[in-house]
Structure 1
Amino acid sequence: MTPSPLVLDTARIGRTALVVANLDETVEFYTDVVGLTVQTRDTNAATLGAGETPLLVLTEDEEAPPRRRDQTGLFHTAFLLPTRAALGAALDRIREHARLSGASDHYVSEALYLSDPEGNGVEIYWDRPRAEWPRADDGTIEIGTIPLDVDELAAQSDGSADAPAGTTVGHVHLEVSSIDASKAFYVDTLGLRLQTEMPSALFVAAGDYHHHLGLNTWNGRTRPPGGRGLAWFEFVVGDAETLAAVRRRLADADVSTTDVADGFEVGDPDGVSLRFCAQ
Protein backbone atom coordinates (compact mmCIF):
# COMPACT_ATOMS: atom_id res chain seq x y z
CA MET A 1 0.00 0.00 0.00
CA THR A 2 1.21 3.50 -0.69
CA PRO A 3 2.61 4.95 2.58
CA SER A 4 0.58 8.16 2.23
CA PRO A 5 -2.87 7.41 0.75
CA LEU A 6 -3.97 9.48 -2.24
CA VAL A 7 -7.59 9.25 -1.11
CA LEU A 8 -7.36 10.90 2.30
CA ASP A 9 -8.78 9.31 5.44
CA THR A 10 -11.32 12.13 5.69
CA ALA A 11 -12.78 11.50 2.21
CA ARG A 12 -16.34 10.30 1.74
CA ILE A 13 -18.63 9.31 -1.10
CA GLY A 14 -20.55 12.24 -2.61
CA ARG A 15 -22.92 11.78 -5.54
CA THR A 16 -23.67 8.86 -7.83
CA ALA A 17 -24.74 9.52 -11.44
CA LEU A 18 -26.89 7.23 -13.59
CA VAL A 19 -27.88 7.25 -17.25
CA VAL A 20 -31.53 6.20 -17.56
CA ALA A 21 -34.01 5.67 -20.36
CA ASN A 22 -37.07 7.01 -18.51
CA LEU A 23 -36.38 10.00 -16.29
CA ASP A 24 -39.93 10.44 -14.97
CA GLU A 25 -40.25 6.84 -13.84
CA THR A 26 -36.81 6.80 -12.24
CA VAL A 27 -37.37 10.08 -10.38
CA GLU A 28 -40.67 8.72 -9.07
CA PHE A 29 -38.93 5.63 -7.71
CA TYR A 30 -36.20 7.55 -5.89
CA THR A 31 -38.69 9.98 -4.37
CA ASP A 32 -41.49 7.55 -3.44
CA VAL A 33 -39.33 4.59 -2.40
CA VAL A 34 -35.92 5.87 -1.35
CA GLY A 35 -37.41 9.10 -0.02
CA LEU A 36 -35.14 11.57 -1.81
CA THR A 37 -36.37 15.01 -2.86
CA VAL A 38 -35.91 16.65 -6.26
CA GLN A 39 -33.42 19.52 -5.97
CA THR A 40 -33.10 20.46 -9.65
CA ARG A 41 -34.96 19.25 -12.71
CA ASP A 42 -35.00 20.02 -16.42
CA THR A 43 -36.07 18.18 -19.54
CA ASN A 44 -33.31 15.58 -19.55
CA ALA A 45 -31.77 15.60 -16.07
CA ALA A 46 -32.53 15.74 -12.37
CA THR A 47 -30.57 15.97 -9.14
CA LEU A 48 -32.06 14.40 -6.03
CA GLY A 49 -30.93 14.50 -2.44
CA ALA A 50 -31.80 14.69 1.23
CA GLY A 51 -32.02 18.04 2.98
CA GLU A 52 -29.59 20.33 1.19
CA THR A 53 -27.23 17.51 0.16
CA PRO A 54 -27.25 16.28 -3.46
CA LEU A 55 -26.87 12.50 -3.67
CA LEU A 56 -28.05 11.28 -7.07
CA VAL A 57 -27.73 12.72 -10.58
CA LEU A 58 -30.01 11.25 -13.27
CA THR A 59 -29.55 11.92 -16.98
CA GLU A 60 -32.08 10.67 -19.52
CA ASP A 61 -30.84 9.16 -22.77
CA GLU A 62 -33.55 7.19 -24.55
CA GLU A 63 -31.02 6.04 -27.16
CA ALA A 64 -28.55 4.60 -24.65
CA PRO A 65 -28.49 0.81 -24.90
CA PRO A 66 -29.39 -1.24 -21.82
CA ARG A 67 -26.52 -2.64 -19.83
CA ARG A 68 -25.38 -6.03 -21.09
CA ARG A 69 -25.18 -9.02 -18.78
CA ASP A 70 -21.39 -9.16 -19.20
CA GLN A 71 -20.66 -5.47 -18.53
CA THR A 72 -18.98 -4.28 -15.37
CA GLY A 73 -20.38 -1.30 -13.49
CA LEU A 74 -22.83 -0.75 -10.67
CA PHE A 75 -23.87 -3.48 -8.25
CA HIS A 76 -25.70 -1.01 -6.03
CA THR A 77 -25.77 2.52 -4.71
CA ALA A 78 -26.10 2.40 -0.93
CA PHE A 79 -28.05 5.18 0.79
CA LEU A 80 -27.07 5.53 4.45
CA LEU A 81 -29.83 6.67 6.82
CA PRO A 82 -29.01 8.22 10.20
CA THR A 83 -31.40 6.12 12.34
CA ARG A 84 -32.97 2.68 12.53
CA ALA A 85 -36.40 4.32 12.68
CA ALA A 86 -35.69 5.91 9.29
CA LEU A 87 -34.73 2.49 7.90
CA GLY A 88 -38.03 1.12 9.20
CA ALA A 89 -39.83 3.90 7.32
CA ALA A 90 -37.89 3.01 4.17
CA LEU A 91 -39.15 -0.56 4.54
CA ASP A 92 -42.71 0.78 4.73
CA ARG A 93 -42.19 2.67 1.46
CA ILE A 94 -40.65 -0.34 -0.24
CA ARG A 95 -43.57 -2.53 0.77
CA GLU A 96 -46.01 0.06 -0.58
CA HIS A 97 -44.31 1.04 -3.84
CA ALA A 98 -41.69 -1.56 -4.83
CA ARG A 99 -40.42 -5.08 -4.16
CA LEU A 100 -37.85 -5.99 -1.54
CA SER A 101 -35.22 -8.35 -2.96
CA GLY A 102 -33.16 -8.88 0.19
CA ALA A 103 -32.63 -7.88 3.81
CA SER A 104 -29.44 -8.54 5.76
CA ASP A 105 -27.72 -7.90 9.06
CA HIS A 106 -24.05 -7.28 8.23
CA TYR A 107 -22.90 -6.96 11.88
CA VAL A 108 -21.86 -3.35 11.18
CA SER A 109 -25.18 -2.37 9.61
CA GLU A 110 -28.69 -3.45 8.71
CA ALA A 111 -29.58 -3.27 5.03
CA LEU A 112 -32.50 -3.52 2.63
CA TYR A 113 -31.96 -4.38 -1.04
CA LEU A 114 -34.02 -3.72 -4.17
CA SER A 115 -33.67 -2.50 -7.76
CA ASP A 116 -34.86 0.66 -9.43
CA PRO A 117 -37.07 0.52 -12.57
CA GLU A 118 -33.99 0.43 -14.83
CA GLY A 119 -32.42 -2.50 -13.00
CA ASN A 120 -29.85 -0.51 -11.02
CA GLY A 121 -29.22 -2.03 -7.62
CA VAL A 122 -30.15 -0.04 -4.52
CA GLU A 123 -29.25 -0.60 -0.88
CA ILE A 124 -30.82 1.39 1.95
CA TYR A 125 -29.15 0.92 5.33
CA TRP A 126 -28.21 2.31 8.70
CA ASP A 127 -25.01 1.78 10.66
CA ARG A 128 -24.77 0.32 14.10
CA PRO A 129 -22.64 2.39 16.52
CA ARG A 130 -18.94 2.05 15.68
CA ALA A 131 -18.20 0.62 19.11
CA GLU A 132 -20.30 -2.42 18.15
CA TRP A 133 -18.48 -3.16 14.87
CA PRO A 134 -16.60 -6.47 15.16
CA ARG A 135 -12.89 -6.23 14.43
CA ALA A 136 -10.15 -8.68 13.61
CA ASP A 137 -6.90 -8.76 15.56
CA ASP A 138 -5.27 -6.41 13.02
CA GLY A 139 -8.00 -3.80 13.55
CA THR A 140 -9.80 -4.32 10.27
CA ILE A 141 -13.57 -4.51 10.39
CA GLU A 142 -15.35 -7.83 9.96
CA ILE A 143 -18.42 -7.68 7.70
CA GLY A 144 -20.74 -10.67 7.64
CA THR A 145 -24.25 -11.53 6.47
CA ILE A 146 -27.12 -13.03 8.43
CA PRO A 147 -30.89 -12.68 7.88
CA LEU A 148 -32.57 -9.48 9.06
CA ASP A 149 -35.89 -9.61 10.93
CA VAL A 150 -37.86 -7.24 8.72
CA ASP A 151 -41.04 -7.37 10.79
CA GLU A 152 -39.12 -6.28 13.88
CA LEU A 153 -37.51 -3.51 11.82
CA ALA A 154 -40.90 -2.36 10.53
CA ALA A 155 -42.08 -2.01 14.13
CA GLN A 156 -39.38 0.63 14.64
CA SER A 157 -40.57 2.81 11.71
CA ASP A 158 -41.06 6.52 12.30
CA GLY A 159 -43.53 6.58 9.39
CA SER A 160 -41.70 9.26 7.40
CA ALA A 161 -42.28 9.63 3.66
CA ASP A 162 -38.85 11.23 3.17
CA ALA A 163 -35.27 10.29 3.87
CA PRO A 164 -34.16 12.60 6.70
CA ALA A 165 -31.48 15.27 6.53
CA GLY A 166 -28.18 13.56 7.22
CA THR A 167 -28.85 10.83 4.67
CA THR A 168 -25.79 10.22 2.47
CA VAL A 169 -24.47 7.81 -0.11
CA GLY A 170 -22.62 5.66 2.38
CA HIS A 171 -20.94 3.46 -0.17
CA VAL A 172 -20.95 2.33 -3.78
CA HIS A 173 -20.64 -1.34 -4.73
CA LEU A 174 -19.16 -2.19 -8.14
CA GLU A 175 -19.09 -5.29 -10.30
CA VAL A 176 -15.54 -5.61 -11.59
CA SER A 177 -13.71 -7.93 -13.96
CA SER A 178 -10.69 -8.65 -11.73
CA ILE A 179 -10.27 -8.54 -7.98
CA ASP A 180 -6.49 -8.34 -8.36
CA ALA A 181 -6.64 -5.37 -10.75
CA SER A 182 -9.21 -3.58 -8.59
CA LYS A 183 -7.11 -4.14 -5.47
CA ALA A 184 -4.02 -2.81 -7.22
CA PHE A 185 -5.85 0.38 -8.21
CA TYR A 186 -8.05 1.15 -5.22
CA VAL A 187 -5.77 -0.15 -2.44
CA ASP A 188 -2.19 -0.06 -3.74
CA THR A 189 -2.46 3.11 -5.84
CA LEU A 190 -5.25 5.19 -4.28
CA GLY A 191 -4.47 4.01 -0.76
CA LEU A 192 -7.95 2.98 0.35
CA ARG A 193 -7.83 0.72 3.38
CA LEU A 194 -8.66 -2.95 2.85
CA GLN A 195 -11.27 -3.83 5.47
CA THR A 196 -12.61 -7.20 4.33
CA GLU A 197 -11.18 -9.50 1.66
CA MET A 198 -12.86 -12.57 0.15
CA PRO A 199 -11.83 -14.68 -2.87
CA SER A 200 -14.34 -12.83 -5.08
CA ALA A 201 -14.95 -9.55 -3.24
CA LEU A 202 -13.19 -6.67 -1.51
CA PHE A 203 -14.53 -4.02 0.85
CA VAL A 204 -12.32 -0.93 1.10
CA ALA A 205 -12.56 2.46 2.81
CA ALA A 206 -11.03 5.85 3.30
CA GLY A 207 -10.07 5.90 6.94
CA ASP A 208 -11.81 3.67 9.45
CA TYR A 209 -15.25 3.27 7.88
CA HIS A 210 -16.42 -0.31 7.27
CA HIS A 211 -16.42 0.36 3.51
CA HIS A 212 -16.88 3.15 1.01
CA LEU A 213 -16.48 0.74 -1.90
CA GLY A 214 -17.49 -2.85 -2.45
CA LEU A 215 -15.90 -4.67 -5.40
CA ASN A 216 -17.04 -8.10 -6.57
CA THR A 217 -16.74 -10.60 -9.43
CA TRP A 218 -19.77 -12.67 -8.43
CA ASN A 219 -21.48 -12.49 -11.84
CA GLY A 220 -18.40 -12.95 -14.00
CA ARG A 221 -18.63 -9.61 -15.83
CA THR A 222 -15.74 -8.86 -18.17
CA ARG A 223 -16.70 -6.01 -20.54
CA PRO A 224 -16.32 -2.30 -19.74
CA PRO A 225 -19.40 -0.30 -18.76
CA GLY A 226 -21.39 1.78 -21.21
CA GLY A 227 -24.92 2.76 -22.13
CA ARG A 228 -27.44 2.87 -19.30
CA GLY A 229 -26.44 2.52 -15.68
CA LEU A 230 -23.57 4.03 -13.75
CA ALA A 231 -22.07 7.15 -15.35
CA TRP A 232 -19.76 8.07 -12.46
CA PHE A 233 -19.48 8.32 -8.69
CA GLU A 234 -17.42 10.72 -6.63
CA PHE A 235 -15.26 11.13 -3.58
CA VAL A 236 -15.48 14.41 -1.68
CA VAL A 237 -11.97 15.11 -0.43
CA GLY A 238 -12.14 18.49 1.35
CA ASP A 239 -11.48 22.04 0.20
CA ALA A 240 -10.08 23.28 -3.13
CA GLU A 241 -6.51 23.23 -1.84
CA THR A 242 -6.85 19.60 -0.77
CA LEU A 243 -8.42 18.71 -4.13
CA ALA A 244 -5.48 20.24 -5.98
CA ALA A 245 -3.04 18.34 -3.79
CA VAL A 246 -4.81 15.04 -4.48
CA ARG A 247 -4.63 15.73 -8.21
CA ARG A 248 -0.90 16.45 -8.06
CA ARG A 249 -0.29 13.24 -6.15
CA LEU A 250 -2.34 11.24 -8.64
CA ALA A 251 -0.22 12.69 -11.43
CA ASP A 252 2.91 11.69 -9.50
CA ALA A 253 1.48 8.15 -9.33
CA ASP A 254 0.97 8.18 -13.15
CA VAL A 255 -2.83 8.26 -12.84
CA SER A 256 -4.20 10.46 -15.64
CA THR A 257 -6.97 12.92 -14.78
CA THR A 258 -9.59 14.81 -16.79
CA ASP A 259 -11.30 18.08 -15.90
CA VAL A 260 -15.00 17.97 -15.00
CA ALA A 261 -17.29 20.76 -13.79
CA ASP A 262 -16.78 20.21 -10.06
CA GLY A 263 -13.27 18.78 -10.02
CA PHE A 264 -11.60 16.01 -11.99
CA GLU A 265 -12.16 12.43 -13.08
CA VAL A 266 -10.10 9.25 -13.36
CA GLY A 267 -10.91 5.81 -14.75
CA ASP A 268 -10.53 2.57 -12.82
CA PRO A 269 -9.21 -0.64 -14.45
CA ASP A 270 -12.66 -1.43 -15.89
CA GLY A 271 -13.31 2.07 -17.18
CA VAL A 272 -15.63 3.11 -14.36
CA SER A 273 -15.41 6.88 -13.92
CA LEU A 274 -14.43 8.05 -10.43
CA ARG A 275 -14.62 11.78 -9.74
CA PHE A 276 -12.97 13.86 -7.05
CA CYS A 277 -14.49 17.11 -5.85
CA ALA A 278 -14.12 19.60 -3.00
CA GLN A 279 -16.66 20.06 -0.21
Structure 2
Amino acid sequence: MVALAIAEAAALAAAGAALDIEGVSHAFDIDGAALPVLDDISFSLEPGEFVALLGPSGCGKSTLLRLVAGLEPPTSGTLREDGEPITRPFPSRVVVFQDPTLFPWRNVWHNVALGLEAQGILKSQRHRVDAAIDLVGLSGFRKAYPHQLSGGMAQRVALARALINDPKILILDEPLGKLDSLTRIAMQAELVSLWQRSGFTTLLVTHDVEEAVYLANRVIVFSDRPARIKADIAVDRPYPRHRGDPVLAELRRKILGLLGLEATW
Protein backbone atom coordinates (compact mmCIF):
# COMPACT_ATOMS: atom_id res chain seq x y z
CA MET A 1 0.00 0.00 0.00
CA VAL A 2 2.83 2.40 0.88
CA ALA A 3 4.57 1.70 -2.44
CA LEU A 4 1.30 2.32 -4.29
CA ALA A 5 0.76 5.65 -2.49
CA ILE A 6 4.30 6.75 -3.34
CA ALA A 7 3.80 5.77 -6.99
CA GLU A 8 0.51 7.69 -7.15
CA ALA A 9 2.12 10.78 -5.61
CA ALA A 10 4.98 10.59 -8.12
CA ALA A 11 2.52 10.30 -11.01
CA LEU A 12 0.61 13.37 -9.84
CA ALA A 13 3.81 15.38 -9.47
CA ALA A 14 4.75 14.40 -13.02
CA ALA A 15 1.40 15.77 -14.23
CA GLY A 16 2.43 19.28 -13.17
CA ALA A 17 5.27 21.42 -14.47
CA ALA A 18 7.94 23.38 -12.61
CA LEU A 19 7.60 27.15 -13.00
CA ASP A 20 10.51 29.54 -12.47
CA ILE A 21 10.08 33.31 -12.42
CA GLU A 22 13.47 35.04 -12.32
CA GLY A 23 14.02 38.77 -11.90
CA VAL A 24 10.83 39.69 -13.75
CA SER A 25 9.99 43.38 -14.09
CA HIS A 26 7.30 44.84 -16.29
CA ALA A 27 5.99 48.25 -17.27
CA PHE A 28 3.14 49.56 -19.40
CA ASP A 29 3.57 52.27 -22.00
CA ILE A 30 1.05 55.00 -21.11
CA ASP A 31 1.16 57.85 -23.66
CA GLY A 32 4.87 57.34 -24.13
CA ALA A 33 5.66 57.13 -20.40
CA ALA A 34 6.60 53.89 -18.64
CA LEU A 35 4.29 52.83 -15.81
CA PRO A 36 6.14 50.22 -13.68
CA VAL A 37 3.89 47.32 -12.64
CA LEU A 38 6.23 44.53 -11.49
CA ASP A 39 9.63 45.08 -9.87
CA ASP A 40 12.19 42.25 -9.79
CA ILE A 41 9.84 39.35 -9.03
CA SER A 42 11.50 35.98 -8.40
CA PHE A 43 9.97 32.75 -7.11
CA SER A 44 9.52 29.14 -8.21
CA LEU A 45 6.78 26.51 -8.10
CA GLU A 46 7.54 22.83 -7.80
CA PRO A 47 5.56 20.42 -10.03
CA GLY A 48 2.09 19.96 -8.58
CA GLU A 49 2.37 22.85 -6.13
CA PHE A 50 -0.55 25.24 -5.44
CA VAL A 51 0.53 28.87 -4.90
CA ALA A 52 -1.77 31.85 -4.25
CA LEU A 53 -0.86 35.48 -4.95
CA LEU A 54 -2.29 38.20 -2.71
CA GLY A 55 -1.80 41.96 -2.84
CA PRO A 56 -3.53 45.32 -3.17
CA SER A 57 -5.88 45.81 -6.10
CA GLY A 58 -4.00 46.92 -9.20
CA CYS A 59 -0.56 45.94 -7.90
CA GLY A 60 0.27 43.71 -10.87
CA LYS A 61 -0.87 40.20 -9.86
CA SER A 62 -2.99 39.63 -12.97
CA THR A 63 -0.24 41.09 -15.14
CA LEU A 64 2.13 38.44 -13.80
CA LEU A 65 -0.40 35.74 -14.73
CA ARG A 66 -0.48 37.09 -18.29
CA LEU A 67 3.31 36.80 -18.46
CA VAL A 68 3.19 33.22 -17.12
CA ALA A 69 0.56 32.38 -19.73
CA GLY A 70 2.86 33.75 -22.44
CA LEU A 71 0.33 36.36 -23.56
CA GLU A 72 3.05 39.02 -23.53
CA PRO A 73 6.79 39.14 -22.75
CA PRO A 74 8.16 40.78 -19.60
CA THR A 75 10.10 44.04 -19.86
CA SER A 76 13.00 42.21 -18.21
CA GLY A 77 13.65 38.87 -16.54
CA THR A 78 12.83 35.30 -17.50
CA LEU A 79 9.94 32.88 -17.03
CA ARG A 80 10.52 29.15 -17.54
CA GLU A 81 8.31 26.06 -17.63
CA ASP A 82 10.27 22.89 -16.90
CA GLY A 83 13.43 24.83 -17.74
CA GLU A 84 12.21 26.07 -21.13
CA PRO A 85 11.69 29.83 -21.63
CA ILE A 86 8.05 30.95 -21.86
CA THR A 87 7.80 33.02 -25.03
CA ARG A 88 4.23 32.44 -26.19
CA PRO A 89 0.95 30.79 -25.17
CA PHE A 90 1.06 26.99 -25.09
CA PRO A 91 -1.58 24.31 -24.37
CA SER A 92 0.30 23.14 -21.27
CA ARG A 93 -0.58 26.50 -19.62
CA VAL A 94 -4.30 27.23 -19.35
CA VAL A 95 -5.96 30.34 -17.90
CA VAL A 96 -9.34 30.45 -16.15
CA PHE A 97 -10.63 34.00 -15.68
CA GLN A 98 -13.16 35.55 -13.30
CA ASP A 99 -15.81 35.50 -16.04
CA PRO A 100 -16.52 32.05 -17.54
CA THR A 101 -16.73 33.59 -21.08
CA LEU A 102 -18.85 30.75 -22.45
CA PHE A 103 -20.25 30.94 -25.97
CA PRO A 104 -24.02 31.43 -25.45
CA TRP A 105 -24.97 29.60 -28.66
CA ARG A 106 -23.07 26.45 -27.62
CA ASN A 107 -24.32 24.02 -25.02
CA VAL A 108 -22.12 22.77 -22.18
CA TRP A 109 -20.73 19.85 -24.19
CA HIS A 110 -19.74 21.99 -27.15
CA ASN A 111 -18.25 24.73 -24.96
CA VAL A 112 -16.03 22.18 -23.24
CA ALA A 113 -15.09 20.62 -26.60
CA LEU A 114 -13.61 23.86 -27.98
CA GLY A 115 -9.99 23.01 -27.25
CA LEU A 116 -10.11 19.62 -28.93
CA GLU A 117 -12.06 21.09 -31.84
CA ALA A 118 -9.40 23.78 -32.34
CA GLN A 119 -6.72 21.07 -32.41
CA GLY A 120 -8.68 19.05 -34.98
CA ILE A 121 -8.86 15.97 -32.75
CA LEU A 122 -12.44 16.16 -31.46
CA LYS A 123 -13.70 13.26 -33.59
CA SER A 124 -11.25 10.81 -32.08
CA GLN A 125 -11.24 12.28 -28.56
CA ARG A 126 -14.93 12.83 -27.85
CA HIS A 127 -14.68 10.70 -24.71
CA ARG A 128 -12.42 13.34 -23.15
CA VAL A 129 -15.24 15.89 -23.31
CA ASP A 130 -17.56 13.62 -21.35
CA ALA A 131 -14.79 12.81 -18.86
CA ALA A 132 -14.07 16.50 -18.21
CA ILE A 133 -17.76 17.28 -17.71
CA ASP A 134 -18.09 14.35 -15.31
CA LEU A 135 -14.97 15.51 -13.44
CA VAL A 136 -16.58 18.86 -12.55
CA GLY A 137 -19.90 17.27 -11.60
CA LEU A 138 -22.05 18.42 -14.53
CA SER A 139 -22.90 15.10 -16.14
CA GLY A 140 -26.62 15.94 -16.12
CA PHE A 141 -26.10 19.27 -17.93
CA ARG A 142 -24.28 18.30 -21.13
CA LYS A 143 -27.05 19.74 -23.33
CA ALA A 144 -27.77 22.83 -21.20
CA TYR A 145 -26.95 26.30 -22.53
CA PRO A 146 -25.09 28.99 -20.54
CA HIS A 147 -28.27 30.98 -19.77
CA GLN A 148 -29.66 27.88 -18.06
CA LEU A 149 -26.71 27.60 -15.64
CA SER A 150 -26.03 29.21 -12.27
CA GLY A 151 -22.82 31.21 -11.81
CA GLY A 152 -21.12 28.30 -10.08
CA MET A 153 -22.16 25.86 -12.80
CA ALA A 154 -20.89 28.19 -15.53
CA GLN A 155 -17.53 28.41 -13.76
CA ARG A 156 -17.43 24.59 -13.58
CA VAL A 157 -17.86 24.54 -17.37
CA ALA A 158 -14.93 26.96 -17.69
CA LEU A 159 -12.82 24.66 -15.51
CA ALA A 160 -13.81 21.61 -17.59
CA ARG A 161 -12.87 23.51 -20.76
CA ALA A 162 -9.45 24.17 -19.22
CA LEU A 163 -8.91 20.66 -17.84
CA ILE A 164 -9.72 18.92 -21.12
CA ASN A 165 -6.35 20.14 -22.40
CA ASP A 166 -4.55 18.27 -19.57
CA PRO A 167 -2.71 21.41 -18.43
CA LYS A 168 0.57 21.15 -16.61
CA ILE A 169 0.04 24.64 -15.19
CA LEU A 170 -3.44 25.93 -14.34
CA ILE A 171 -3.53 29.74 -14.08
CA LEU A 172 -6.49 31.08 -12.11
CA ASP A 173 -7.30 34.81 -12.20
CA GLU A 174 -9.90 35.26 -9.42
CA PRO A 175 -12.07 32.48 -10.88
CA LEU A 176 -14.48 32.53 -7.92
CA GLY A 177 -14.57 36.30 -7.42
CA LYS A 178 -18.11 36.90 -8.70
CA LEU A 179 -19.82 33.97 -7.00
CA ASP A 180 -22.07 34.27 -3.96
CA SER A 181 -20.46 33.22 -0.67
CA LEU A 182 -22.11 29.78 -0.39
CA THR A 183 -21.31 28.85 -4.00
CA ARG A 184 -17.78 30.14 -3.56
CA ILE A 185 -17.19 27.91 -0.52
CA ALA A 186 -18.47 24.87 -2.45
CA MET A 187 -16.32 25.72 -5.46
CA GLN A 188 -13.21 26.13 -3.30
CA ALA A 189 -13.62 22.56 -2.08
CA GLU A 190 -14.23 21.40 -5.66
CA LEU A 191 -11.09 23.17 -6.86
CA VAL A 192 -8.96 21.46 -4.21
CA SER A 193 -10.46 18.10 -5.21
CA LEU A 194 -9.73 18.70 -8.92
CA TRP A 195 -6.15 19.75 -8.14
CA GLN A 196 -5.53 16.72 -5.95
CA ARG A 197 -6.95 14.32 -8.55
CA SER A 198 -5.18 15.85 -11.55
CA GLY A 199 -1.82 16.95 -10.11
CA PHE A 200 -1.40 20.12 -12.19
CA THR A 201 0.67 23.02 -10.87
CA THR A 202 -1.64 25.88 -9.87
CA LEU A 203 -1.05 29.63 -9.68
CA LEU A 204 -4.02 31.55 -8.25
CA VAL A 205 -4.69 35.28 -7.94
CA THR A 206 -7.26 36.15 -5.29
CA HIS A 207 -8.20 39.08 -3.05
CA ASP A 208 -9.66 36.72 -0.44
CA VAL A 209 -7.13 35.95 2.32
CA GLU A 210 -9.22 33.10 3.72
CA GLU A 211 -9.48 31.56 0.23
CA ALA A 212 -5.71 31.75 -0.21
CA VAL A 213 -4.84 29.96 3.04
CA TYR A 214 -7.64 27.41 2.56
CA LEU A 215 -6.50 26.40 -0.94
CA ALA A 216 -2.76 26.93 -1.31
CA ASN A 217 0.49 25.31 -0.22
CA ARG A 218 2.08 28.76 -0.24
CA VAL A 219 0.84 32.34 -0.22
CA ILE A 220 2.96 35.06 -1.81
CA VAL A 221 2.11 38.58 -0.67
CA PHE A 222 2.82 41.51 -3.00
CA SER A 223 3.34 45.17 -2.18
CA ASP A 224 1.61 48.12 -3.84
CA ARG A 225 2.45 48.78 -7.50
CA PRO A 226 5.07 48.27 -8.73
CA ALA A 227 4.71 44.92 -7.03
CA ARG A 228 7.56 43.44 -5.05
CA ILE A 229 7.36 40.30 -2.92
CA LYS A 230 6.73 41.20 0.73
CA ALA A 231 6.45 37.63 2.01
CA ASP A 232 6.39 34.01 0.83
CA ILE A 233 4.42 32.07 3.44
CA ALA A 234 4.14 28.27 3.64
CA VAL A 235 0.70 26.90 4.55
CA ASP A 236 1.80 23.64 6.12
CA ARG A 237 -1.60 22.12 6.86
CA PRO A 238 -3.05 18.84 5.58
CA TYR A 239 -6.08 18.54 3.32
CA PRO A 240 -9.01 18.59 3.77
CA ARG A 241 -8.62 21.84 5.69
CA HIS A 242 -11.03 23.31 8.21
CA ARG A 243 -11.76 27.03 8.20
CA GLY A 244 -11.78 27.13 12.00
CA ASP A 245 -8.23 25.74 12.20
CA PRO A 246 -6.34 28.07 14.62
CA VAL A 247 -3.17 27.75 12.51
CA LEU A 248 -5.04 29.06 9.46
CA ALA A 249 -6.55 31.82 11.59
CA GLU A 250 -3.08 32.93 12.66
CA LEU A 251 -1.88 32.89 9.06
CA ARG A 252 -4.86 35.05 8.06
CA ARG A 253 -3.97 37.52 10.81
CA LYS A 254 -0.34 37.62 9.69
CA ILE A 255 -1.23 38.17 6.03
CA LEU A 256 -3.77 40.89 6.86
CA GLY A 257 -1.00 42.61 8.80
CA LEU A 258 1.28 42.48 5.78
CA LEU A 259 -1.53 44.05 3.73
CA GLY A 260 -2.01 46.82 6.29
CA LEU A 261 -5.35 45.44 7.48
CA GLU A 262 -4.44 43.91 10.85
CA ALA A 263 -6.79 46.34 12.64
CA THR A 264 -9.74 44.71 10.86
CA TRP A 265 -8.98 41.28 12.39
TM-score, normalised via structure 2 length? 0.30
* Structure with bigger gyration radius: 2
Determine which structure has the larger helix proportion and give its number: 2
Determine which structure has the larger strand proportion and give its number: 1
TM-score, normalised via structure 1 length? 0.29
